[in-house]
Chains A and B, each alone.
Chain A
Amino acid sequence: MEHRRPPGPSRRYRWVRVAGLLALLAVIAGSPVVGAAFALAAQDGTGANAKVLRIHQLLYPETADPQKSSFTQEIAFLVANYEGLTRLDANGQTSPAAAESWTFNEDGTVLTFNLREGLTYSDGSPLTAERFVYAVRRACDPNTAGDYQYILFDIAGCQEFASLYAAGDGATPAARDDAAAFAAARDAVAARAVDERTLELTLNQPAPYFPSVAGLWVFFPAQQELIEAAGDDWWTDPANQIGNGPFQVSRMEQDQLIAFDANENYWGGRPVLDGIELVYVPDAAVALEAYNAGDLDIVQPDPAQYPAIRADPALAEQFLSFAGTNTALLSFNMQQPPFDDQKVREAFAYAFDRETWCAEVNNGDCVPTLSWIPEGVPGFVETDAFGFDPEAAKAALAESSYGGPDGFPAVEYHYIADIPEERPRGEWIAGQYRDILGIEIALVPVEQTAWVRSINDPENYPPLTVIGWFQDYPDPQNWLSILWACESFFATPAGYCNTAFDDLVQQADQELDPATRFPLYEEAHRLLLADAFAVVLSNQANVFLVKPEVTGYTTTPSDGEWPGQWASPLTLDVER
């Protein structure tokens, strides 16, 4: 999923330590008269004793339409309000949700979900298999064109429906006003309600990971009649967001607040909480102040605030940090010299001190790793490949076609200019390579959208840059096949291609037996690592401040927006 931290001004406050000025302002603002005037502006938040958990959010959803969303903050909203056929459990594994079970046919191309008995929406109306058929068709619809449309292309007919109006591959695109062609393509999407409780998906090829995909937001059963009656901006009105999740949204105020009530009709029982309030505060300094004042129960602090939080004994105890299901890489452009040379890549990987990178350069915002797939996700491997070793780094560089730092070309490191912390990080990286390998790195700032474009562009892929991946679903296919096979999201622009790797993941993608399947992925993963495809750096941590009153949650690595987000919606509790 897409992850974005606001590049807003909050990240620039760090340098502000103008003590004298603070004193002057404190005198002005602290004088009783001025203070009394402002105190008039004071107003209580929620005064009631209801168990409403107040959670800080940095960014408001751009769209909270299940078939269009892609960003983590949008998904956090959707997962509270809706539920797919499966969901993640406390171990980060796919487990039954709206569907109580599922089966593949013998060759693995027909996937049948059995829905729970008596399943309803939060308003008590029945939730049938037909609702999920609508969600799938809507996600494949060329007019919907959501960011995650392609994730359903394994379903027969979906890609054809999505490409209905697109020219290419010799096919003539349908005219936009051709209603018959549209209806035919829509009905050809192989999602079928066999009866009220049975949903059948026909896949283009065996896809054992597909039950995990069926838990994603594109499957969330928003109601057809509400969407069609309200038009494109249906999602902005809570009255149209009648869901089947543990909570039911009751209020949406753009950029300010989203409030949920407990869903009394949830199949798993009513949540302990009476409700949740997502409070949108774009500035981390303000959020921390509100947390200290008791106006928020959970906040996401900014890495720049970690040292101050750790120095405060009370706050340090409320500091919660755990590795997320994401991995950051220092990525090479492998199409061009010098990084087309495996030994050069090995030298760069050996010379990277991941411990210092996480502990000092990133204020403890990450956990060092050498495995591309994070621990806890199938496909993870214990490895010491290219761990920090300056001597091995120098030796690898000496073995390379350059023979050493002399005559080594100048290398550019690209970083996102909009995020102030990126510059010192880049300087640290350049310093490391200068000190250990004797190689000069030039730092190139790039505006963030231009940077995103460049990492998807084989023509303009940066020589060196830090990229990251946030898992969509807990399956190695989501980490290997779609990213590092020869024609895939990361491999194509970076110029990575290993046919042995491709053979392995292709075989694994279609293998139904987990006992055969996961070892194949592990083998492929080891190949990828042995190729020094990038410098594997770290798993970015999920970091929160949590009030001691908040209890009843188990964290999973996917809890990027609040602890207990995925596994504990029913048991989360707050003392009032």
Chain B
Amino acid sequence: MLRFVLRRVLWVVPVVLVVAAITFALMHRAPGGPWDRVKPIPAATRANLDAKFGLDKPIWINPGALRAERDRGTVNPFVLGRAFADSQFLNYLGNLVLFDFGPSYQSRGTTTVQEIIGAKFPVSAKLGMVGLVFAVVVGIPLGVLAALRQRSWVDHLTLAVSTVGVAVPSFVIAIMLLIVLSRRFGVSPLRRPEEWDGLGRAYLLPGIVLGLGVLAVLVRLTRSSLLEVKRQDHVRTARAKGLAEGMVVRRHMLRNGLIPIVTVLGPAGAELITGSIIVETIFNVPGLGREFVDAIAARDYSMIMGTTLFYAALIALANVAVDVAYGYLDPRIRRA
């Protein structure tokens, strides 16, 4: 089991590298750069900025620097190699190994990307956890109930709620909740900055809105998965041997019915935790989701790379967690 987990975790490294190369290539292909303004920055200033952020170097490899070193008579292969590797991409990877994601361009280099991620990711993660807990705690029991009482009013209501959850965009629900709460219950639509410290009430509303989509998926998946298991022979056997209904549901139906749910929970959890631009914007949550989207428009290269790689690693790890959970739920997978 340990070897299995270890192998899966190590696989994250090449995944991140490939994502890095692709993102880097796409990012530099996009027209425009971080210093583009309606009133252009003059050449001298632009050159200073490029030098400060290393944008004056070639993107992938630096044969020019290698040639310059060789002309100078350098033979030390280590120095030559370094000159050759003195490019934007390879320098970036070199710093990445040291967990240095570089300075954010939007802040004109005054803050590093790891500082921003360090400050903002915990907020997004907390919000995502609230959303995930809400989705699981409400969604799975609702799905079970709907499956057990198929075609009852519970089932229909559940279906209605989950349809709304899937079909209505979160910004519509968010704005409406804010308006209703503000006008009917006097809840201010604004939060003070300190409310995002710790795990305060501020997280309640955005967490619920964020979790609604996943909740809807969970309800429908749990329901259909359980309906399928419900008709299987081993369940009928369990009933026939006189097991209490609760035991049948918990031990024989849920444990089998949960496997597809765990499959979605991994990626869904990662998605919730990485932060949603829409929910974070409406509730003005100081999270990472907004940073990510803003960075793209601003061509904040280091921020785009940093957040993309961070997310890539997070999602890859979430998938590893799913695989491990499979092994726990279904011993056959562990052995394979």
Contacts and interface: CB of A to CB of B under 8 A. Distances in A.
Interface in B148-206: 164, 168, 171-173, 175-193, 195-196, 201-202, 204-205
Contacts of B176: 22, 25-26, 29
Contacts of B282: 9-10, 283, 285-286
Given A142-B48, A165-B47, A289-B179, A281 B201 contact: no
Interface in A1-34: 2-3, 7-10, 12-13, 16, 18, 21-22, 24-26, 29-30
Contacts of A295: 188-190
Contacts of A147: 37, 41, 45
Contact of A454 (B31, B182, B204, B284): B31
Contacts of A149: 41-42, 44-45, 48
A61 B63 CA distance: 39
Contacts of A428: none
Contacts of A280: 284
Given A13-B171, A146-B108, A232-B109, A255 B181 contact: no
Given A150-B41, A232-B103, 8 more contacts: A18-B168, A25-B177, A39-B185, A63-B108, A162-B45, A280-B284, A289-B182, A449-B297
B32 A449 contact: yes
Given A29-B176, A68-B108, A38 B192 contact: no
B126 interface: no
A145 interface: yes
B244 interface: no
Contacts of A176: 51
Contacts of A143: 48, 52
A52 to B, nearest CB: 13
Contacts, number: 223
Contacts of B119: 254
- Range for the number of chain A residues in contact with chain B: 35 or more
Contact of A450 (B32, B164, B173, B177): B32
A293 B44 contact: no
Contacts of A455: 38
Contact of B40 (A145, A448, A489): A489
Contacts of A377: none
B172 A290 contact: no
A42 B189 contact: no
Interface string A513-553: 00000000000000000000000000000000000000000
A201 B44 CA distance: 22
Contacts of A9: 171, 277-278, 281-282
Contacts of A159: 44
B298 interface: yes
Contacts of A313: none
B330 interface: no
A38 B30 contact: no
Contacts of A234: 110
A107 to B, nearest CB: 26
A486 to B, nearest CB: 16
Interface of B: 30-33, 36-45, 47-49, 51-52, 103, 106-111, 115, 119, 164, 168, 171-173, 175-193, 195-196, 201-202, 204-205, 277-278, 281-284, 286, 290, 297-299
Contact of A233 (B38, B49, B111, B205): B111
A25 B52 contact: no
A447 B296 CA distance: 11
Contacts of B190: 45, 279, 281, 286, 290, 295-296
A163 B51 CA distance: 12
A516 B1 CA distance: 87
Contacts of B47: 163, 165-166
B164 to A, nearest CB: 7
Nearest to A145: B48
14 contacts: A9-B282, A30-B184, A65-B108, A143-B52, A146-B108, A153-B42, A232-B109, A233-B107, A236-B110, A236-B111, A253-B193, A255-B284, A449-B298, A452-B37
A2 B281 contact: no
Given A65-B110, A145-B48, A281 B284 contact: yes
A25 B173 contact: yes
Interface in A478-521: 489
Contacts of A163: 44, 47
A40 interface: yes
B297 A448 contact: yes
Contacts of A30: 180, 184
B33 A453 contact: yes
Nearest to B161: A28
Given A9-B171, A449-B36, A25 B41 contact: no
B188 A290 contact: yes
A70 B52 CA distance: 19
A272 interface: no
A418 B205 CA distance: 28
A39 B297 contact: no
A153 B184 CA distance: 58
Please list the 8 inter-chain residue pairs (A to B) with the smallest Cβ-Cβ separation, ordered nearest first.
A449-B32, A253-B193, A145-B48, A453-B32, A450-B31, A256-B193, A41-B201, A163-B44
A525 to B, nearest CB: 19
Nearest to B48: A145
Contacts of A301: none
B193 A257 contact: yes
Interface string A108-120: 0000000000000
